[in-house]
Amino acid sequence: PRPLEPEPAARPGCGRVCRRSPARAAATLLAGLTNGLSHIRMGGCYLGDDGLRPIVASLARVPRLRTLGLAHNGLGDGSIQALAEALSANPGRVLPALQRLWLFGNDISDEGVISLTKLFEAGELPRLAKLGLGANRIGDAGVQALARCGRTALGAVDTLGLRENPRISTAGVDALAVALESGAFASLKTLWLPAAHEWHGGIAAACREREVTLICA
């Protein structure tokens, strides 16, 4: 199967910006933010937390945005906190149409994932269908928070990417299996996990029962 992450290639007219330098990429994007923009793909710009902050602060200007691709940008928990602050300051008005959030290959830890789940539980990003969190620093606490969140939120998510997070152990995968068995993540169709969990019987059985495609890579 085609890998979920990194983000899909940009299509013509989708709002792809210059990737030559973080400063130029951010400036180009900020200058081009318009009400009708539907896709932002900035994979590999290495913006860092400081570079992303002005972009996050301007997201209210793009209510029709459906894709936010930020793979390989050196983003840590500070970037997630900035996103949380932007959404909390304008509940329901920032990224109301977002369907795809790609955060592959960054430096996000459990703390950042927990901040994200609090947003989801508060009703933010209600249309999110694809969440890519692979190749970060996520461990069991972050996965357990996602599992809990999936019981009350993330009902539209059909693809959840957690591959290449070696800190995820059996305990985290156990929590996901129990969540799936209880009906969490109602729309889930594809689940990506680290390769080490290929033979985890609990998650395999839960995915078979729910007809979810499990890919361990």
What is the per-residue pLDDT across 6-54, written as a single tens digit (0 to 9) for each? 444 433 333 344 445 666 666 666 776 777 889 988 888 888 998 898 8
The predicted model gives 49-74 an average pLDDT of: 90
Q: What percent of the chain lies above the pLDDT cut of 90? A: 71
Provide the pLDDT for residue 57: 85
* pTM, two decimal places: 0.89
Cross-strand partners of 215: 192
Cis bond upstream, residue 6 (ω within 30): yes
DSSP state of 23: H
pLDDT in tens, 117-146: 999 999 999 999 999 999 999 999 999 999
CA angle 63/66/70 to nearest 5° reads: 105
**Residue 33: both structure tokens together:** 């933010």
Sequence-separated contacts (24+) of 206-213 with Cβ below 8 Å? 206/176, 206/177, 206/178, 206/180, 206/181, 207/180, 209/180, 209/181, 210/180, 212/180, 212/188, 213/1, 213/189
Q: Cα–Cα distances in Å, from 153 out to 126, 150, 204? A: 8, 5, 23
Dihedral Cα 128, 130, 136, 142, nearest 10 deg: 50
Residues 6+ apart with CB under 8 A from 78: 49
Please answer whether residues 163 and 194 qualify as being in contact, where contact means their C-beta atoms are separated by less than 8 angstroms: yes
